[in-house]
Amino acid sequence: MSDEEGTNRIYRAIADTTRRRIIDELALRDRQSLFEICARMISKHGIYLSRQAFSRHLSVLEDVGIIEVEWQGTTKLHSLNKAPLAGLANGWLSRFEEQ
């Protein structure tokens, strides 16, 4: 995959409110399970989706490297990897920053 195509995929991954809220949650606390994330999305953000829908969102973030996972028994723990986001923030878009 070309570098540009990777950039496209990361932009697409964060072009969704639910996924940005998931990232916000993981920025507050690492190593959260799918169920924990579901619960917080519903209770803190009022995002009512099925477990599978959240699972899909998590896998989109995992595919582009924003989320890293670790298994503990049957529980998949999700953590944030800020590198791809830092890449965007310091990359092409940074030329449009103000102040």
Q: Write out the residues near DNA by the rule CB under 7 A.
A: 12, 16, 18, 33-35, 48-53, 55-60, 73-76
- Minimum distance of its own copies from residue 89's CB (angstroms): 4
79 binds its own copies (CB under 8 A): no
Nearer to DNA, 60 or 80 (CB): 60
The 3-state secondary structure of 16-46 reads: CHHHHHHHHHHHHCCCECHHHHHHHHHHHHC
For residue 73, give the amino acid letter: G
Nearer to DNA, 10 or 85 (CB): 10
Going by C-alpha positions, the residue among 48, 6, 4, 3 that lies closest to residue 21 is: 48
